[in-house]
Chains A and B, each alone.
Chain A
Amino acid sequence: ETGVTQTPRHLVMGMTNKKSLKCEQHLGHNAMYWYKQSAKKPLELMFVYNFKEQTENNSVPSRFSPECPNSSHLFLHLHTLQPEDSALYLCASSDHRANTGELFFGEGSRLTVL
C-alpha cells in the first residue's frame, strides 16, 4: 500500500469512447503526476500539478485531458484515443517541499485501446 490509489486497474475502450482514470493520494502531498509506461520504453512524464495548478504539460496530445480538483485527486480524461495510446498509466505524488525526486506511485491503470 503506497498511499496512492488508482482506478480502474484495467480499462478497455474503443477509439470513439470517452473514459476517465482516477487517482487519489492519502499522503498529504501537494504535487501529483501522470506518467505513461509503454513496453520497452522509459516512463514518460505527461503532466505535473502543484497545489492544483498544472505546472508541466510534456507535449501531450489534447485527447488526454487532466483535471486536478484538489490536492488529493487527479483525473485523466480520455477521448478519441488511438491504439498506440495503449499503455500503463501511472499516477504519482510527492511532497512539494522535497526536491529529491522521490515519487510515490500508484499501481497504475492498464489501458487497452481497440
Chain B
Amino acid sequence: GESVGLHLPTLSVQEGDNSIINCAYSNSASDYFIWYKQESGKGPQFIIDIRSNMDKRQGQRVTVLLNKTVKHLSLQIAATQPGDSAVYFCAENSGGYQKVTFGTGTKLQVIP
C-alpha cells in the first residue's frame, strides 16, 4: 500500500552543524509534503510544508527539498541548536481533505 517512511531512526549532530533528515515516500499523488517536530511530552508541531509542484522551500533555518524523480523528501536544519532535539516526522497529504499520513519518525539528538 501507500507509505511514508524514514531512512534513519536516530541522527546525532554537533551543535552548530547542519542537520539533514531524509524521508522516502511512495504515493505520487500526494498534494503536499509536510514536516512535523515532536518534542518530548508534546504533540507534533508543524514546521514546514511543500507543494508537490515545487522542489524547494525555505523557512527560518529550515529548508525542505522534494525530489519527485526518486520520491525523496528531506529537511535541512541550519546551525542546529539544542532546542532542535526532537523526533521529526515527514507526512503527506494525499486525501484532498486533510488525510495526513505520517512516517515513523527520526530522532534528532544535538550534542552540545
- Chain A positions within 8 Å of B, measured between CB atoms, are 2, 4, 31, 33, 40-43, 45, 48, 50, 55-56, 90, 92, 94, 96, 98-108
Identity of the chain A residue whose Cβ is nearest the Cβ of B6 in the assembled complex: A42
> Which residues on A sit within 8 Å (CB–CB) of B41?
107
Q: Decide yes or no: A101 and B43 within 8 Å by CB, A42-B102, A42-B104, A42-B105 being known contacts.
A: no
Q: Are A102 and B104 in contact, with the CB atoms below 8 A?
A: no
> Which residues on A sit within 8 Å (CB–CB) of B42?
107-108
Q: Decide yes or no: A99 and B96 within 8 Å by CB, A42-B102, A104-B46 being known contacts.
A: yes
- Which B54-112 residues sit within 8 Å CB-CB of chain A? 89, 91-93, 96-105
Q: Are B103 and A42 in contact, with the CB atoms below 8 A?
A: yes
> Which residues on A sit within 8 Å (CB–CB) of B34?
100-102
Q: Are B98 and A48 in contact, with the CB atoms below 8 A?
A: yes
Identity of the chain A residue whose Cβ is nearest the Cβ of B9 in the assembled complex: A40
Q: Are B43 and A2 in contact, with the CB atoms below 8 A?
A: yes
> Which residues on B sit within 8 Å (CB–CB) of A43?
44, 89, 102
Top 4 A-B pairs ranked by shortest CB distance? A105-B43, A101-B93, A43-B102, A101-B34
Docked pose: A25 CA to B4 CA in angstroms: 28
> Which residues on A sit within 8 Å (CB–CB) of B92?
101
Docked pose: A4 CA to B89 CA in angstroms: 20
Q: How many Å from the CB of A101 to the closest CB on chain B?
A: 3
Q: Are A102 and B99 in contact, with the CB atoms below 8 A?
A: no
